[in-house]
Amino acid sequence: MMDKITAFIRKHQTVVLLAVPLVLAGVLISMFGSRLLLDIYTYFCVSLGMVYGLQVFMGNSGILSWTHVGFVGIGAYVTGILVTPPMVKEMGVPNMYPALVDLSLPVVPSILIGALVAAAIAALIGYPLMRLNDFASVITLFATLIVIHVVMTQWDNVTNGPRTFFGLPQWTTWGIALGGALLMLLAAYWFRESGLGLKLRATRDDRYAAAAIGIDMIFTRYLGFVLSALMAGFVGGLWALYITSFSPKSFYMAEMFLLLSMLVIGGSGSVSGATVGAVVVTIAREVLRQVEATINNAHVLSFEVFGLTELVMAVLMVMVLIWRPSGVVGGQELRLPRFGKKKDVPAEVDGLAA
Amino acid sequence: MIDLEFVINTLSLGSLYALLALGLVLVYGILKLVNFAYGEYIMIAGYAIYLSATLLHAPWYLTLLIAVLAAVLVSYLTELIAFRPVRSQSPNALIVTSFAVSVFLQNVVLIMVSPRARPVQLPFFFSRTIEIAGATVPLRNLLVIAVTAVLLVALSLLMKKTVVGMAMRAAADKFTTTRLMGVPANLVISTAFVISGLLAGVASIFWVSRSASVDPLTGAAPLLIAFIAVVTGGMHSTVGAVVGGFVYGLVFNLLSVTLPASMISYRDAFMFALVVVFLLFRPAGIIKRGYTEERVG
């Protein structure tokens, strides 16, 4: 029995290796860290959840999934509409459909419904999109994000249009954010290691060979896409309950660039890569923001410096890609170095970095 | 509703979109790179007009020349510095690199010039209108048709008659084989970027003339148009890009005149939804080309 448990843990040690530092960091920061540090940590955990969701589809299928942040937005809006008290909605969203104004649900079901709605929309539009490859797939997913964005900004009976949607309770604490991130970690890891994930990775590495051994590429991709949207919608709900007020701008290019840079810098091929990327990007971004704020507050320059953070992030990203095109971690999962007997299968080599 | 004015406006819009799409597809054909930084070449050219007019007080023909040169230079430099080191790697790395380059260029302008829009001085004759057979048409609409026609002829001569043009066409078909024939990869790719920058620069002059101002996000809209035109037209040929540009212009103008006023703000969503539906039935676009190789560094 004991043997079985240790063997199980050894087989899935990646999860432990990723989760333990994450939890430790959270506990330490909540005990000794400042308020600001705890805020950064909470936001980091939520972003991490989004990156895991992105990894599920993009990492395993090799398709650049622009729509991801759109599904985060759908989850956020659905949660917002369900959770916010009718009084507040009447005031904040004057044009909202009366049926939506009267809706009011507890927090947890709201988040779950948000996730389901995001998944349902993905399921509705996803199948045809999964048939496309290369240029066409990048562009259509990009166009889909724009369609989602246009609908969000124009449908003011639901989303309050381009204006801010406000009045959500701040329900997501650091512990809940951490819990959400861990749940997403498990989901992403489980998917990657599952038969379905393996099939999807096969279609990524060689779609003809995958088809030749009987993998239904489109359907496999489709399932990955819907799961990814489900995760995005779920984290979107957590995000909305942390930020409490937001507008469609929050679910567009700038945010997508951030998520993409996290995944690509870390290495899209693995859950470990997603984690490392999120850590690196969050730290780099916060440091740069501090520098930018310091420069602006010190008034050493005659003008305010806007956009320095994004500028340096972009340069860093290109440098990382030149240095390690498949990300810092590459395609493998983190594992402890093995000593002595070697009976396990060798770690997977990333197929993308030929 | 469909009169001479509509035809000329559609032709001019289509010409502009064809230029945009052509610049994008030249690079895609060879490098299989979806270049998200392409819109920024247009933005940079717009700023070049603004800066050369305000700082150098250059006459209009010089500002236009400087604009095109700036776009060419930036296009070439991004290839040299950012894309060349990444290009033999995964296609996603290349796309993300181009997105990073785009963010970089936007923020450079944001910091160096201003986040706010800047007015662009355009030649006096751009805003003139003339009458043809009872239809009032802005002169620049006719200009863009003429310029596009000239550029298309020049480009097709270049592609068909010169060695480098033939090398580019061969590379778009089978890059590895072309390299085995002794064609230097760097030369072909750099040339593609230079021409892409040239087309972006020329298109930019007409693009910024519509709003007569330029801001750091100016490049986003033309980039999208180029994307959509390329996928609709067919991403494996330059002809496809041109056809896609004209079709896009036509559909856009048709939607503008037929959609009720309350739905006009959804026009972009309609456009993209139409494109997605179209691609379901014909994933290769309007102009289909036979075998094309997967990406090779």
B236-260 pLDDT per residue, tens: 788 888 999 999 999 888 888 888 8
Residue to substitute from A51, A66, A134, A139, interface B, most B β-carbons within 10 A: A139
8 A C-beta contact, residue A87 and residue A104 = no
8 A C-beta contact, residue B227 and residue A139 = yes
State the SS3 of A223-254. Answer: HHHHHHHHHHHHHHHHHHHHHCCECHHHHCHH
Q: Quick one: tokens of B205? A: 């002059």
Chain A residues close to B113, C-beta within 8 Å: none
8 A C-beta contact, residue B285 and residue B231 = yes
Residue B264 amino acid letter: I
B49-54 mean pLDDT:
90
Tell whether the torsion through CA atoms of A211, A215, A216 and A218 is positive or negative.
Answer: negative
Is A183 inside any structural domain?
A: yes
Cα B41 from chain centroid (whole Å) = 9
A336 reaches B (C-beta below 8 A): no
Residue A297 amino acid letter: N
3-class secondary structure, A91: helix
B41-68 mean pLDDT:
91
Residue B40 amino acid letter: E
Q: Is the pLDDT of residue B296 over 70?
A: no
The burial class, CB within 10 Å (0-12 / 13-18 / 19+), for B133 is exposed
Is A325 inside any structural domain?
A: no
**Running DSSP on this structure, what letter comes out for residue A164?**
P
Q: Is the pLDDT of residue A349 over 60?
A: no
CA distance B142 to B195: 23
Q: Quick one: tokens of B123? A: 């030649």
Q: Quick one: tokens of A119? A: 């998944």
pLDDT of residue A325: 76
A20 reaches B (C-beta below 8 A): no
Q: Is the pLDDT of residue A304 over 80?
A: no
Mean pLDDT of chain A: 87
Q: Is the pLDDT of residue B201 over 90?
A: yes
CA distance B297 to B294: 10
Length of chain A: 354
Residue of B nearest to A292 (CA): B111
Residue A350 phi/psi, 5-degree rounding, is -70, 120
CA distance B230 to chain A (A): 9
Q: Tell me the residue range of the domain where B192 lies.
A: 4-217
A328-334 mean pLDDT:
80
Q: Tell me the residue range of the domain where A200 lies.
A: 16-246
Tell whether the torsion through CA atoms of A238, A243, A244 and A248 is positive or negative.
Answer: negative
CA distance B215 to B70: 16
Strand partners for B129: B138
Considering only CA atoms, which of B169, B200, B168, B164 is closest in space to residue B40? Answer: B200
Is B244 inside any structural domain?
A: no
Cα A194 from chain centroid (whole Å) = 20
Is B173 inside any structural domain?
A: yes
Mean pLDDT of chain B: 86
How many beta-carbon pairs below 8 A join chains A and B?
135
Chain B residues close to A135, C-beta within 8 Å: 28, 32, 34, 230-231, 235
Residue B131's CB is within 10 A of a number of other CB atoms, namely 8
CA distance A194 to A336: 21
Convert the pLDDT of each residue in B115-168 to its tens digit: 888 888 787 777 778 877 777 788 888 899 999 999 999 999 998 899 988 898
Q: Is the pLDDT of residue A342 over 70?
A: no
3-class secondary structure, A1: coil
Is A91 inside any structural domain?
A: yes
Q: Which of A136, A147, A322 sits opposite B86 (nearest CB)?
A: A322
Cα angle at B10 between B7 and B14, to 5 degrees? 140
Convert the pLDDT of each residue in A212-259 to its tens digit: 999 999 999 999 999 999 999 999 999 999 999 999 988 988 889 889
Is B229 inside any structural domain?
A: no
What DSSP element (H or E) covers A336?
A: none
Number of domains composing chain A: 1
Q: Quick one: tokens of A298? A: 């010190």
Quote the percentage of chain B above a pLDDT of 70. Answer: 96
Residue of A nearest to B82 (CA): A318
Is B37 inside any structural domain?
A: yes
Is A109 inside any structural domain?
A: yes
Confidence band for B200, pLDDT divided at 50, 70 and 90: very high
Residue to substitute from A148, A203, A321, interface B, most B β-carbons within 10 A: A321
pLDDT of residue B13: 92
DSSP string covering B158-202: HHHHSHHHHHHHHHHH-HHHHHHTT--HHHHHHHHHHHHHHHHHH
Considering only CA atoms, which of A223, A217, A193, A190 is closest in space to residue A205? Answer: A217
Chain A residues close to B172, C-beta within 8 Å: none
Q: Which of B95, B266, B276 sits opposite A138 (nearest CB)?
A: B95
Quote the percentage of chain A above a pLDDT of 90. Answer: 45
Confidence band for A302, pLDDT divided at 50, 70 and 90: low
Confidence band for B295, pLDDT divided at 50, 70 and 90: very low
3-class secondary structure, A337: coil
Q: Is the pLDDT of residue A117 over 90?
A: yes
pLDDT of residue B297: 42
B46-58 mean pLDDT:
89
Q: How far is CA A193 from CA A63, A223, A270, in A?
A: 19, 15, 10
Cα A226 from chain centroid (whole Å) = 14
CA distance A260 to A266: 10
Quote the percentage of chain B above a pLDDT of 90. Answer: 34
CA distance B83 to A67: 25
Chain B residues close to A268, C-beta within 8 Å: 92
Q: Is the pLDDT of residue B171 over 70?
A: yes
Q: Is the pLDDT of residue A192 over 90?
A: yes
Confidence band for A57, pLDDT divided at 50, 70 and 90: very high
8 A C-beta contact, residue A255 and residue A68 = no
B178-205 mean pLDDT:
92
Is A158 inside any structural domain?
A: yes
User: Tokens 């450079």 — which residue?
Assistant: B108
Is A289 inside any structural domain?
A: no
B58-78 mean pLDDT:
93
A306 reaches B (C-beta below 8 A): yes
Q: How far is CA B219 from CA A33, B45, B211, in A?
A: 42, 10, 13
CA distance B137 to chain A (A): 31
A316-323 mean pLDDT:
86
CA distance A138 to A94: 37
Q: Which of B96, B101, B107 sits opposite A260 (nearest CB)?
A: B96
pLDDT of residue A185: 95
What DSSP element (H or E) covers B118?
A: strand B118-119
Strand partners for B214: B118
Q: Quick one: tokens of B60? A: 């209009």
Cα B229 from chain centroid (whole Å) = 10
Is A177 inside any structural domain?
A: yes
Is B15 inside any structural domain?
A: yes
B209-213 mean pLDDT:
85
Cα A45 from chain centroid (whole Å) = 10
**Running DSSP on this structure, what letter comes out for residue A331?**
T
